[in-house]
Amino acid sequence: MYYVLLAILCFILIMVLEAGHLKCEYLKVRSDLGIRIALISDIHMGLLMVSVKDAAKAIKINKPDLIIIAGDLIEREKHIHEVSEWIKEISSGLP
């Protein structure tokens, strides 16, 4: 019984740590357009704010021309205002 509880606790801990970790990948796509695109997904705002702050920082450093947000932004409806403010923050300075 204790082993099952320990396994569940370890699984939850790993999931929480993974959710708070920002993963950045840089791909160079051959293009004559010369644009930089940032793709953001699985932010889950409201669960952990670490990745949200790190994502905003990475966007400001890399200065993309276009930001694409691909789903899973909030955990609950009550976080809509927070995500709206975050989108304003990351999009300021875009061309």
Residue 11 lies in a domain: no
Residue 1 lies in a domain: no
Prediction pTM value: 0.64
Q: What is the pLDDT of residue 30?
A: 73
Which residues are registered as beta bridge partners of 74?
Answer: 45
Q: How many domains does the chain have?
A: 1
Give the CA count within 13 Å in the CB-facing half-sphere of 70.
7
pLDDT digits (tens, 9 = 90+) for 29-58: 777 778 888 888 777 776 666 577 788 888
Length of the chain: 95
* Contact between residue 53 and residue 18 where contact means Cβ atoms under 8 Å apart: no
Residue 3 lies in a domain: no
Domain span holding position 27: 22-91
Q: What is the pLDDT of residue 88?
A: 86
- Written as six digits, the tokens of 62 are 């890399």
